[in-house]
Amino acid sequence: MELSLLRRLARERVKQDLVLPNVGIYREELGAEIRFNMAGVKECINQPFDPYREKILLLIDGLEEALLNATYVGFTSQQNHNRQHVVGYHFFETRIGGKTAYFNVQLTVQNQNYLYSITESIRWETLEQKNT
């Protein structure tokens, strides 16, 4: 299946199954749920990742389970692109296609957590707390 079709399927699946019904994945470390919005879905899709295809397939099938089982790594208030509505980011480690990956979860000033991105690495020196 073509990547453009997979990206479209991923956007539609997350929108219909997670964004519109306002689904949340509860994480004890946060004492709150991680929610989903289309800005985060687009960032997840657009962020480079190798193997990219496996990341897109995870969005289509398995995202909820992966977020539920990911290992909490830490939090940072540092931002690469300053956003007024963002307090900082929580990071969760998982595996995609046999490779370590990180869920970046945005903490907003409204004290809401949204999946923002899926990346290959994080800047460890910026973490303010680590899960030991």
Q: Which runs of consecutive H residues, i.e. helices, occur in the chain? A: 3-14, 38-46, 52-60, 63-69
What's residue 80's pLDDT? 65
What's residue 89's pLDDT? 93
Weakest-pLDDT range from 50-64, 71-85, 95-109: 71-85
What's residue 77's pLDDT? 87
Res. 115 pLDDT band, cuts 50 70 90 = very high
Q: Are 83 and 105 in contact (CB under 8 A)?
A: no
Q: Are 73 and 92 in contact (CB under 8 A)?
A: yes
Q: Does the structure show a pLDDT above 80 at 82?
A: no
Q: Does the structure show a pLDDT above 90 at 96?
A: yes
